[in-house]
Chains A and B, each alone.
Chain A
């Protein structure tokens, strides 16, 4: 075990991917000389050279689309978009090309592309740098959406995503980069199919992912101190959703709190609630609870931002309502 950070774990994953397969290269704004806007790719330019660590102009649509073309041309691009808000300038390429080419071509053209981007609030970056739109992307057939919340996943999900024949979107929550924890020295590729039980419990199920996992675990600790034993599921993969894991947990605990940093209306939390209602309604002993971001653009002021996004206390309150 070695103490490291989420950022360094991501970088180790990138480094291993670049070493393992010479078709892999990375491009995006400031990924090279600057070292990545959040420092993830620091040092990789020196190690792998400007051909494989490519600084691009401010042209999200062009370089994301170029990643699609390069994937069609036999390479394994990793495209970095600074934040999910900016990915909207490339939404045409992501949705109309990456997600559709395989289908439109009748199975002839697959797009083995990985797009990484930062998501989420909590750093007082206000309404154009803080949104959690991964749930939107999880709406789109043809894409896979993964959200590493642990160092192990930060280290290992990218490698598996690069071996996937289809486009994978990898969301890094901005509040996680500095998280420092122990990571096994032999950490490597991990699956990108299943949810994980991060804490077992019998009284209720809390689902979370990405940046909200730590919030949910903190809430579970509080609940434990009050005699409530919560199970915490890390969704890990938002599309395709590991529905079986959610249903299995709810079948054990009979109560569900869904935590989602997206807005409530039309969100991933709504999707999970609907699936549980469709497939496990009679397992439930209490109404489903949702803890989501308030329906406002994320404000700058600290107290407002904190009030807008899911906090441990919100989850604790929801859990207590569910337990009754």
Chain B
């Protein structure tokens, strides 16, 4: 019951529950107007965040998108810093200047939080270039959605990273929709792993509803990248259970489709598997839930108590402050 495999599964499960409960709470806080702006949830996609971050090393830079709460939490950015950011407070991980879409944390090597679709890919390529030129054995983890595959920057970056054999793990969270546009309405070839492979890099598709599969695929890819074989591309096939953002009447998909995917809920699936194999009982689940609940309560308290930046400081951080 306590072997390394069980430990890994328990950790993946715990991260997924943290992310799920956190975002469920964020919906309430959004309705209460404590959180404003655009907010994108990853409910349904937690296996990707948990699996990828489990595989990544602490020094590996991470570049993400506006749908990054899960990535940030699984990466280890404290929940209170994430929530305080969404509250716009100075104890937020971006001092309240970024909000939900722009979480940054230099210490955790978390480089955003980019709300331009595909805009983070060039930055990831550059971080990898810096590591390579400085002889640091790291790999940059770059997360983005299926929508990004239609952007020019995606193609420029896969080509450049493959050409220079840079240590980048491209992680495409294919949730089948870019806002309201279903993938087959936007991409002439919907097999994204095959398209990526045309750039001459290793590429494969993974069940993105299975945190263990995601984590193992990412570990394998990272091993290959660190071994000097150049970048890898993972297509993580997943689904978002909620709306694109908080303003989305979801006219573009059938409720039955959502219901169908919910039967593959990554959290349900993992806990069922662990129960079946005798790795998990009700007691452990209750413990995880109550730890997470406490963490969320503490995060809310910290966010509420967080100071607001005085407006006199409005124009700070446009240029570096030199001491």
- A96 near B: Cβ within 8 Å? yes
* Nearest-CB residue, chain B, relative to A102: B317
* Nearest-CB residue, chain B, relative to A66: B126
* Nearest-CB residue, chain A, relative to B61: A73
Given A75-B134, A92-B119, A110-B320, verify A57-B129 contact (CB < 8 Å).
Answer: no
B127–A72 touching, CB < 8 Å: yes
A residues 154-177 in Cβ contact with B at 8 Å: 165-166
Which of B97, B105, B113 has the most CB atoms of chain A within a 10 A radius of its CB? Answer: B97
- A25 near B: Cβ within 8 Å? yes
0/1 string, B152-169, CB within 8 A of A gives 1? 110011011001000000
A105 contacts across to B, CB distance below 8 A = 94, 97-98, 102, 104, 106, 112, 317
Distance in angstroms from B62 CB to nearest chain A CB is: 12
B318–A141 touching, CB < 8 Å: yes
Distance in angstroms from B279 CB to nearest chain A CB is: 39
- B123 near A: Cβ within 8 Å? yes
A25 contacts across to B, CB distance below 8 A = 133
Q: In the complex, what distance in Å separates the CA atom of A323 from the CA atom of B157?
A: 56
- A62 near B: Cβ within 8 Å? yes
Q: In the complex, what distance in Å separates the CA atom of A63 from the CA atom of B129?
A: 11
- A59 near B: Cβ within 8 Å? yes
Distance in angstroms from B117 CB to nearest chain A CB is: 10
Give the dominant DSSP class at B's interface.
Answer: mixed
A73 contacts across to B, CB distance below 8 A = 61, 126-127, 129-131, 134
A residues 61-76 in Cβ contact with B at 8 Å: 61-75
A64 contacts across to B, CB distance below 8 A = 122
- B41 near A: Cβ within 8 Å? no
Of A61, A70, A103, A165, which contacts B152 at CB under 8 A?
A61
- B10 near A: Cβ within 8 Å? no
Q: In the complex, what distance in Å separates the CA atom of A130 from the CA atom of B96?
A: 41
Interface extent on B, as a size class? 35 or more
- B124 near A: Cβ within 8 Å? yes
Which of B111, B116, B131 has the most CB atoms of chain A within a 10 A radius of its CB? Answer: B111
* Nearest-CB residue, chain B, relative to A75: B130
B106 contacts across to A, CB distance below 8 A = 105, 108-109
Distance in angstroms from B135 CB to nearest chain A CB is: 11
- B319 near A: Cβ within 8 Å? yes
B126–A71 touching, CB < 8 Å: yes
Of B113, B119, B129, which contacts A66 at CB under 8 A?
B129
Q: In the complex, what distance in Å separates the CA atom of A75 from the CA atom of B92?
A: 27
Distance in angstroms from B68 CB to nearest chain A CB is: 13
* Nearest-CB residue, chain B, relative to A165: B320
Given A75-B133, A75-B134, A93-B119, verify A57-B127 contact (CB < 8 Å).
Answer: no
B322 contacts across to A, CB distance below 8 A = 165
B96 contacts across to A, CB distance below 8 A = 106
A69–B152 touching, CB < 8 Å: no
A227 contacts across to B, CB distance below 8 A = none
Given A62-B157, A142-B318, verify A107-B123 contact (CB < 8 Å).
Answer: no
- A51 near B: Cβ within 8 Å? yes
Q: In the complex, what distance in Å separates the CA atom of A101 from the CA atom of B110?
A: 12
Distance in angstroms from B284 CB to nearest chain A CB is: 37
B134–A59 touching, CB < 8 Å: no
Given A97-B119, A106-B94, A165-B320, verify A68-B102 contact (CB < 8 Å).
Answer: no
A residues 104-141 in Cβ contact with B at 8 Å: 104-110, 141
Which of A62, A101, A165 has the most CB atoms of chain B within a 10 A radius of its CB? Answer: A62
Q: In the complex, what distance in Å separates the CA atom of A67 from the CA atom of B104?
A: 19
- B139 near A: Cβ within 8 Å? no
Q: In the complex, what distance in Å separates the CA atom of A217 from the CA atom of B226?
A: 58
0/1 string, A138-150, CB within 8 A of B gives 1? 0001101000000
B124 contacts across to A, CB distance below 8 A = 69
B156 contacts across to A, CB distance below 8 A = 57, 59, 61-62
A residues 259-283 in Cβ contact with B at 8 Å: none
Q: In the complex, what distance in Å separates the CA atom of A250 from the CA atom of B156?
A: 49
Q: In the complex, what distance in Å separates the CA atom of A32 from the CA atom of B127?
A: 22
B112–A69 touching, CB < 8 Å: no
* Nearest-CB residue, chain A, relative to B113: A104
Given A73-B134, A103-B317, verify A66-B122 contact (CB < 8 Å).
Answer: yes
B130–A74 touching, CB < 8 Å: yes
Distance in angstroms from A18 CB to nearest chain B CB is: 13
Q: In the complex, what distance in Å separates the CA atom of A141 from the CA atom of B128?
A: 27
Q: In the complex, what distance in Å separates the CA atom of A195 from the CA atom of B128?
A: 38
B95–A107 touching, CB < 8 Å: yes
B321 contacts across to A, CB distance below 8 A = 107
0/1 string, B139-161, CB within 8 A of A gives 1? 01000000000001100110110
A56 contacts across to B, CB distance below 8 A = 160
Q: In the complex, what distance in Å separates the CA atom of A190 from the CA atom of B283?
A: 69
Q: In the complex, what distance in Å separates the CA atom of A106 from the CA atom of B106?
A: 11
B residues 307-323 in Cβ contact with A at 8 Å: 316-322
B92–A72 touching, CB < 8 Å: no
Q: In the complex, what distance in Å separates the CA atom of A65 from the CA atom of B111?
A: 13
Given A92-B116, A93-B122, A106-B95, verify A70-B129 contact (CB < 8 Å).
Answer: yes
A74 contacts across to B, CB distance below 8 A = 130, 134
B122 contacts across to A, CB distance below 8 A = 61-66, 68-69, 93, 97
Of B93, B130, B133, B317, which contacts A51 at CB under 8 A?
B133
* Nearest-CB residue, chain B, relative to A103: B317
* Nearest-CB residue, chain A, relative to B93: A106
B97–A63 touching, CB < 8 Å: no
Distance in angstroms from A32 CB to nearest chain B CB is: 13
6 A-B pairs with least C-beta separation: A65-B122, A69-B126, A73-B130, A106-B95, A62-B156, A66-B126
A-B contact pairs, 11 of them (CB 8 A): A69-B125, A69-B126, A70-B129, A72-B61, A73-B126, A102-B317, A105-B94, A105-B97, A105-B102, A109-B111, A166-B319
Contacts A92-B116, A93-B122 aside, 9 further interface pairs with beta carbons under 8 A come to A57-B163, A59-B157, A59-B159, A62-B160, A69-B125, A70-B129, A97-B116, A104-B113, A105-B317
